[in-house]
Homo-oligomer: A and B are copies of this chain.
Amino acid sequence: MKVIATYQVPARACPDPKKKGEGIALGMTIGSWSGIPTSRQAKQAKYAGEYLGAEAVELPAGPFVRLQVGYPVSNFPPRISEILVAVFGKLSMDGEIKLVDLSFPDEFSRWFPGPRYGIEGVRKKLTLFHRPPIMSIFKCGFGLNPEEFSELFKEQTAGGVDLVKDDEIVFDEEERIERVKYCRKVMDDLLVRENRQVLYAVNLSGSPGSLFQTARQLVDAGANALLVNVLAYGFNVLQELASDTKINVPLVAHPALAGAFYSSPFHGFSSPLIMGTLMRMAGADLTLFPSPYGNVSIPRNEALEIGDKLRGTSLYRPSFPAPSAGIHPGMIPKIIEDFGNDVVINAGGGIHSHPDGTEKGARAFLDAIEGICEGNSLEEIAKNSPPLKNALARWAT
Contact = CB atoms under 8 A, between A and B. Distances in A.
Contacts of A258: 92-93
B233 A236 contact: yes
Contact of A229 (B89, B256, B261): B89
Contacts of A269: 260
A93 B47 contact: no
Contacts of A86: 169, 171
Contacts of A263: 92-93, 96, 264, 266-268
Contact of A30 (B97, B140, B207, B325): B140
B261 A47 contact: no
A44 B170 CA distance: 12
A85 B70 CA distance: 33
Contact of A142 (B29, B232, B268): B29
Q: Quick one: copies of this chain in the complex?
A: 2
Given A30-B140, A143-B47, A349-B35, A89 B207 contact: no
A93 B91 CA distance: 24
A2 interface: no
A256 to B, nearest CB: 3
Q: How big is the A interface, by class?
A: 35 or more
B89 A142 contact: no
Residue of A79, A237, A256 with most partner-chain B CB within 10 A: A256
Interface in A325-339: 325
A90 B256 contact: yes
A177 to B, nearest CB: 15
B81 A143 contact: no
A207 B81 CA distance: 9
A146 to B, nearest CB: 15
Contact of A75 (B31, B92, B142, B267): B142
Interface in A134-193: 139-140, 142-144, 168-169, 171, 173
10 contacts: A44-B142, A85-B229, A89-B254, A90-B256, A91-B259, A93-B258, A93-B259, A93-B297, A207-B236, A267-B267
